[in-house]
Structure 1
Amino acid sequence: MSNWKHGAPRVAFISGGGSGIGLRLAGALLQEGARVAIFDLHVDESVLADLRGKQAHAGGWVESYTVDITDPVAVTTSMDLATAEVGVPDFAINCAGILRTAEFSELAFETFEQSIRVNLIGSRNFAAGALRHMQPGGHLALVASLAGICGSYTHAAYSASKFGVVGLAEVLRTELTPKGIDVSVVCPGEIHTPMLEEERRTGRLVTEVINEFAGVMPVDKAVDGILAGLRKRQYMITPGFRARLTRAIARKAPGLFHRIIDGKVRQGLAREQRQAAGSKAKS
C-alpha cells in the first residue's frame, strides 16, 4: 500500500458514498483507520453494516447523513453536524453525480438542468460545506470525468457539467494553495459501475464505440489508481494508461483528437445502421 504524502486521513467526508466509487473509497479509508462521514440521498443498511465490518478491523468509524447534494442549506447543515459528530475533515471528496445521455436535439431542458445541478452545483455545495471546517494541511477532491476534458456523443449535459467541475477545481486550487489546502480533480474514463451499466442499457451504441478509445476499467482497479493519485495529492488524477493518453491528446493536440473522434463517430453510426438493418430483417 502506498504511503500518504501527509499521512492517512483522520476524518474523511465522502458524498455519494453509498455506491460506486464513493463506496469503494469509503471502505478503503475505513481500513486505514479513518473516521468517515458519508453524504448521500440513501444508504442501504446492508451497505452500512458491511462498512462497519471494515471499521472494526482498523479502528475507523463511519456515519451516514441523508442529504440532497443540490440543496446548499442541507449540505451545509449536514456537514456542520458531521463535523460535530465525526470530527473536522482533513480530507473531503465529492463523488455524487449522475449521467444522462441523449443527442442535444433530443435532450430536454429539465434533463440538462438536472445534470448541472447535481454534478456542478453539487460540487460547489460540497466544497463550500467542507471548506467551512477544513484547516491548513487539508485535501479537497472533486470527481469530474474524462468527459470534463473532452466531449463525446450524447454527453452534452454530462460533459458541460463535468467541464464545469474541472474549471471549479482549477480556481479552488489557485485560491486554496496559499491557504495550505491541496485540491485534486479526478477525471477517470469509463468505469464498470451501476451508472455505466445503465448507460449501456439505455444509451447509444455510437457513444460506446467512441469511448472504446479510452477503454473501460474495472471499478477496483480504477479506485486503486484514484487512491494512488490522492495519496500523492496529485492535482489531476486519471487512472489507466489509455485514459491518460486520451486526456493528453485532447489537451495537447485537439486537432488530432477531433480527427480520431470523428472517425469513431462514423464507425459507431455505421454499426448502428447495420444493427438496425439486422433487426428490421429479423422482424
Structure 2
Amino acid sequence: MFFKAKWDPRGRHCYVTGGSSGLGLALAVLLTRKGAHVSIVARNEERLQKALEALEVVRQTPGQVLKHYSFAVDSEAGAAAAIEAASEAHGGRSPDAFFFCAGKSTPGFFVEQDEASMRKGMDETFWAQAPSALAASKRMVSRHEKGKLVFVSSVLGYFSIVGYSPYSPGKFAIRGLAEALQSELILYDIDVHIAFPGTIFSPGLEQENRVKPKVTLKIEEADDGATPETVAEGVFKGVRNGDFHITYDFIGNVFRASTAGSTPRNSYLTDMFYSVVGYLALPIWRRGVDSTVREHRPEHRKYLSSLAFFKDVTSSSAK
C-alpha cells in the first residue's frame, strides 16, 4: 500500500463533460499539461472552440489528440453518442478516464419552488452526470476495458443549508450513485472517484449569486472560495493518489471525515484527526448558522409578504 503507483494521465485519453468553462475547462487544461489526450464535451459550440484554443496553448507534444464535441449529455442516448464520437479518434477505444463536471446551481427558498423547478434542480445536478456514467460503464464493461469514472459533487453533498433545496439533493444523489458504483464496478476493475469542491469562483457562481437568498449570502460571507485551477489541482491529486472521496482543503477534509460512514478512507490517521475536529467544531458552526437563519425571520417575512405569499386564513375561516 505504501508503494502503490500513482495514476499518470500522460498518453491516456481523458474525457471531460462541462469542459468549456469553470472546473471542467481547468481540469482539461491541467490534463493537457500533464500530457493526456483530452476530449471536452459541452453544448455551446462557441465556448467549446475557445476552450479548445486554451488546450492548444498548453499542448505538450505534437501527438496529443485534443478534441471538442457539442452534445447534450443529460440523456443516455446523448451521453452515449458523445462518448462514441470521442472514442472514434482513438481507434474506437473508450476513454481511459471520465471526468463528469457538467452541472449548475440555481438556489432559492423551498417554499418558492414548484414541482417543475425541483425536477429542474435534479436535471442540473444528478441528471447532468448520471447518464454519462451509465453510458461509460456499459461501454467499458461490454468491451472488457478498464478505466476511471470521476464524479463532481459538492461540499453541499455532505451537508446543506437554507437556499440550497433545489441544488443539494442532486449532489447528495451523485454521492449515492458513486458509493454504489465504487462497490459494483470492482467487478470490472473500474475505479470510481467523487470530488466535493466548495465555492468555485467562476461565471456560474456569478449567475448563482444573482438569485441566491440574502440569508445564504450572509452565511457564506466567510467562505474564501477557490479558483477553478486550484480545485482542478485538488481533484487531480485525489485521482492520482487513488482517493475515492476527494477533498482538497481543511474544511472539506473535516466534512469528509465526519460524514464518511463506511466509505473507504483516504488515511486512517489524518481522518481520525479531522473527525475529532468535526465532532468538536461542526455542532458549534451549525448552531451559528441556525442562529443567522432565525435572525433573518423578520426580513424573510417581509420578503414573502411583498410576493403576496401569505394567505388570509382568518377571513377564510370566517366564511
TM-score range, shorter chain: 0.7 to 0.9
Per-residue deviation at 1:39?
A: 1.3
Per-residue deviation at 1:259?
A: 5.3
- Check 1:19–1:84 CA distance in 2 against 1; reply closer, same or farther (3 A cut): same
Matched AA of 2:87: T
* Alignment partners' CA distance in 1, 2:205 and 2:293: 18
TM-score where L is the length of structure 2: 0.77
Which residues of 2 match residues 142-181 of structure 1 at below 5 A? 142-181=151-190
* Alignment partners' CA distance in 2, 1:96 and 1:185: 13
Matched AA of 1:74: G
**SS, match of residue 154 in structure 1:** coil
**SS, match of residue 86 in structure 2:** helix
* Alignment partners' CA distance in 2, 1:75 and 1:176: 19
- Check 1:59–1:153 CA distance in 2 against 1; reply closer, same or farther (3 A cut): farther
Partner of 1:37: 39
Contact 2:16 2:100 in 1 (8 A): yes
- Check 1:272–1:49 CA distance in 2 against 1; reply closer, same or farther (3 A cut): farther
Pair member with larger Rg: 2
Per-residue deviation at 1:37?
A: 1.3
- Check 1:136–1:74 CA distance in 2 against 1; reply closer, same or farther (3 A cut): closer
**SS, match of residue 153 in structure 1:** coil
1:74 matches 2:78: yes
Could you report, residue by residue, the CA deviation over 1:6-46 in whole angstroms, capped at 9, with x for unpaired residues? 33250011100000000011011112221111111114222
Stretches of structure 1 lacking an aligned partner (at least 5 in a row):
278-283
Matched AA of 1:99: S
**SS, match of residue 129 in structure 2:** helix
Matched AA of 1:107: Q
Q: Which of 212-221 and 95-104 deviates more?
A: 212-221
Per-residue deviation at 1:90?
A: 0.9
- Check 1:249–1:11 CA distance in 2 against 1; reply closer, same or farther (3 A cut): same
Partner of 1:280: none
Q: Which of 251-260 and 102-111 deviates more?
A: 251-260
* Alignment partners' CA distance in 2, 1:54 and 1:238: 26
Partner of 1:104: 110
* Alignment partners' CA distance in 1, 2:6 and 2:229: 22
Partner of 1:94: 100
Per-residue deviation at 1:140?
A: 0.7
The CA RMSD over aligned residues, in Å, is 2.9
Partner of 1:60: 64
Could you report, residue by residue, the CA deviation over 1:103-144 in whole angstroms, capped at 9, with x for unpaired residues? 100123222111212321232211122223335541111101
Alignment counterpart, residue 188 of structure 1, candidates 187, 197, 202: 197
* Alignment partners' CA distance in 2, 1:27 and 1:4: 23
Matched AA of 2:39: A
Stretches of structure 2 lacking an aligned partner (at least 5 in a row):
261-274, 303-319
**SS, match of residue 167 in structure 2:** helix
Partner of 1:205: 214
Contact 1:140 1:183 in 2 (8 A): yes
Which residues of 2 match residues 243-258 of structure 1 at below 5 A? 243-249=252-258, 257=282
Contact 2:106 2:211 in 1 (8 A): no
* Alignment partners' CA distance in 2, 1:88 and 1:250: 34
Partner of 1:6: 7
Q: Which of 252-261 and 235-244 deviates more?
A: 252-261
Per-residue deviation at 1:222?
A: 1.8
Contact 1:69 1:118 in 2 (8 A): no
1:224 matches 2:233: yes
Contact 1:206 1:265 in 2 (8 A): no
- Check 1:5–1:56 CA distance in 2 against 1; reply closer, same or farther (3 A cut): closer
Contact 1:15 1:39 in 2 (8 A): yes
Matched AA of 2:21: S
Q: Which of 253-262 and 4-13 deviates more?
A: 253-262
- Check 1:75–1:35 CA distance in 2 against 1; reply closer, same or farther (3 A cut): same
**SS, match of residue 166 in structure 2:** helix
Alignment counterpart, residue 19 of structure 2, candidates 17, 25, 29: 17
Per-residue deviation at 1:250?
A: 5.3
Contact 1:214 1:242 in 2 (8 A): no
- Check 1:51–1:151 CA distance in 2 against 1; reply closer, same or farther (3 A cut): same
